[in-house]
């Protein structure tokens, strides 16, 4: 390792090869306070440097773990003492913005929020959006095929990437920086790297697809009496308006974020079984607002909602979203907390959550507790569980309760966060043997020495 670090220092300079305390100061994972245990952290600034790093690591059989913003939540960026972390924190350039073609070319270490802001400057939008926007990076978003709150309208990260560049395990650079929407010339190689969680290559640059920024945005939080009403409301809004987000909060979530923790003022009474944040976009400010209000009135008359609060300013809109996005409150209140990100057909959701609640109460009568919320429109639920004093060693029992029913229902153990190390042993519940075999073949073909993010994704 010492010899390798010397060679890496020659390429990057001493400031960009961190060891000892400088490594331990960094965290290993967003949810845990565990320090990073890697042998060293290297910080390339260009694809060329990264390519040289990987060529050396390949020769020395040195395993590496890529770090973006380290906001991932499935232990995908955890590195052990014999591994080298490659951090893309210096690769943050916006190389080109093409307002006519609607593309932005960036280095992969750029934070998502910087891309969103740069798009807004030319009256466009980059529609991937999630709570960790200030810290997570485009490379991490690509590697995890991130989802977020606007998937219902714009799709996941896979839909926002036109081209990308990646450094392979042996240091070769695959530059597939396509800028066109249509390009069927052979295999679409970028798709291999999107969602591969750093196990097939290190993403260094990307061509992102921008969308026109729509001038009007409507946002409301509504109280919903039943789960059926929630799904009918989703159907109604998506047929009648240009829906960009439909986030559902179970009472367990809303009550905790407001009355119980005191972290946020409750904009609606806390006794409703469900709540939703509904957001629409459009091109006609005046009429969009009228149509939005008319729809809420109709929903009220039909008994789909019992109460509503409309955001009349950006500040109010952010207040409503903070109730949904302030994960720190959940972590504090539920510690030790197990967090789950699953997807399942919408009609199966209510009974899945109710069954889980019942089973959790049976298994952990003292302190089993479930908090549920999620991107309802795309079948994605986030479930936060605490078992109180039963503590972390109970995780396996809770995982079985959460994951096992999903195979039968046709759901997935990971909707948008990926597999990492955390869900690796449950992959078989969401992918069949043949699928896992092909994944292993791809891994072997691209990374025969198993150097890229070892132990992640594949069992």
Residues at the interface with ligand FAD (CB under 6 A)? 30, 65-73, 76-77, 88, 108, 130-132, 136-137, 139-141, 143-144, 146-148, 197-198, 202-203, 327, 416-417, 420, 453, 456
For the beta carbon of residue 202, count every other beta carbon within 10 angstroms: 27
The H-assigned helical ranges of 306-459 are: 314-325, 327-334, 349-363, 395-409, 433-446
183 contacts: CB under 8 Å, gap ≥ 6: none
Q: For residues 251 and 279, what is the distance between their CA atoms, to the nearest angstrom?
A: 20
Please identify, using beta-carbon distances, which residue of 305 and 439 lies nearer to ligand FAD: 439
Give the shortest CB-145-to-ligand FAD separation in angstroms: 8
Nearer to ligand FAD among residue 69 and residue 102 (C-beta) = 69
Q: Which is nearer to ligand FAD, 75 or 255 (CB)?
A: 75
Provide, rounded to whole angstroms, the least separation between the CB of residue 269 and ligand FAD: 27
Structure token digits, residue 310: 């409309």
Distance (Å, whole) CA 102 – CA 431: 35
Smallest distance, Å, CB 156 to ligand FAD? 8
Q: Pull the structure tokens for residue 189.
A: 């190689």
Q: Residue 75 Cβ, how far from ligand FAD at the closest point, in Å? A: 8
Q: What is the DSSP string of 110-134?
A: SBHHHHHHHHHHTTEE---B-TTTT
Give 214's DSSP letter.
P
* Closest approach of ligand FAD to the CB of residue 417, in Å: 5
Residue 369 or 456 having the CB closest to ligand FAD:
456
Distance between CA atoms of residues 140 and 195, nearest Å: 9
| CB closer to ligand FAD out of 140 and 405 | 140
Cis peptide preceding 336, ω within 30 of 0: yes
State in angstroms the smallest separation of the CB of 421 from ligand FAD: 9
- Pick 8 or 110: Cβ nearer ligand FAD: 110
Closest approach, Cβ 458 to ligand FAD, in A, equals: 12
| DSSP one-letter code for 56 | H
Nearest position to ligand FAD, beta carbon = 140
Q: How far apart are CA 418 and CA 345, in angstroms?
A: 19
Nearer to ligand FAD, 130 or 387 (CB): 130
Specify whether the CB–CB gap between 105 and 209 falls below 8 A: no
Alpha carbon 109 to its chain's center: 16
Neighbours of 204 (CB within 10 A): 25
CB-based contact 374:380 (threshold 8 Å):
yes
Least Å distance, CB 256 to ligand FAD, is 16
Cα gap 69→384, rounded to integer Å:
22
Return the number of other C-beta atoms located less than 10 Å from residue 18's C-beta: 20
Question: Please, what is the minimum distance in Å from the beta carbon of residue 301 to ligand FAD?
Answer: 33
CB-nearer residue toward ligand FAD: 58 or 456: 456
263 vs 270, which CB is nearer to ligand FAD? Answer: 263
Q: How many CA atoms lie within 13 A of 253 on its CB side?
A: 25
Residues 216 and 281 sit within 8 Å (Cβ to Cβ): yes
C-beta of 287: minimal distance to ligand FAD in Å? 30
Instruction: Say which residue the tokens 């029992």 belong to.
Output: 397
Q: Between 38 and 295, name the residue whose CB sits nearer to ligand FAD.
A: 38
């Amino acid at each position: 390792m010492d010899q390798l670090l010397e060679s890496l220092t020659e390429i990057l300079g001493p400031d960009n090869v961190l060891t000892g305390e400088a490594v331990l100061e960094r965290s290993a994972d967003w949810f845990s306070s565990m320090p990073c245990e890697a042998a060293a952290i290297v910080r390339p600034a260009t694809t060329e440097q990264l390519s040289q790093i990987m060529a050396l690591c390949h020769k020395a059989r040195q395993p590496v773990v890529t770090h973006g913003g380290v906001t991932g939540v499935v232990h995908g960026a955890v590195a052990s003492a014999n591994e080298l972390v490659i951090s893309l924190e210096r690769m943050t350039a916006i190389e080109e913005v093409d307002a006519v073609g609607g593309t932005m070319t960036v280095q992969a270490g750029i934070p998502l929020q910087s891309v969103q802001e740069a798009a807004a400057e030319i009256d466009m939008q980059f529609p991937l959006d999630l709570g960790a926007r200030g810290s997570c990076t485009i490379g991490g978003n690509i590697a995890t095929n991130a989802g977020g709150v606007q998937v219902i309208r714009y799709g996941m990260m896979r839909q926002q990437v036109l081209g990308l560049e990646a450094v392979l395990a042996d240091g070769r650079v695959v530059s597939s920086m396509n800028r066109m929407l249509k390009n069927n010339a052979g295999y679409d190689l970028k798709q291999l790297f999107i969602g591969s969680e750093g196990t097939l290559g290190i993403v260094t640059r990307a061509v992102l697809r921008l969308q026109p920024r729509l001038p009007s945005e409507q946002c409301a939080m509504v109280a919903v009496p039943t789960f059926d009403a929630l799904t009918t409301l989703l159907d109604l809004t998506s047929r009648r308006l240009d829906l960009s987000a439909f986030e559902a909060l179970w009472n367990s979530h809303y009550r905790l974020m407001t009355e119980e923790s005191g972290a946020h003022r409750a904009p609606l009474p806390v006794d409703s079984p469900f709540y939703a944040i509904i957001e629409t976009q459009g091109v006609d400010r005046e009429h969009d607002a009228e149509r939005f209000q008319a729809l809420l009135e109709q929903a009220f008359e039909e008994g789909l909602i019992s109460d509503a609060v409309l955001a009349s300013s950006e500040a109010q809109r952010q207040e409503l979203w903070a109730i949904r996005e302030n994960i720190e409150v959940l972590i504090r209140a539920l510690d030790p907390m197990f967090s789950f990100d699953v997807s399942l057909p919408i009609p199966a959701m209510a009974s899945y959550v109710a069954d889980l609640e019942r089973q959790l109460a049976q298994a952990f009568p003292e302190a089993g507790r479930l908090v549920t919320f999620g991107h309802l429109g795309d079948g994605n639920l986030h479930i936060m569980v605490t078992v109180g004093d039963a503590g972390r060693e109970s995780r396996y029992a809770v995982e079985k309760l959460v994951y096992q029913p999903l195979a039968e229902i046709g759901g997935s153990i990971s909707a948008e966060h990926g597999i990492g190390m955390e869900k690796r042993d449950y992959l078989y519940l969401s992918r069949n043997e043949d699928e896992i075999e092909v994944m292993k073949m791809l891994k072997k073909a691209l990374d025969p020495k198993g150097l890229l993010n070892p132990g992640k994704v594949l069992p």
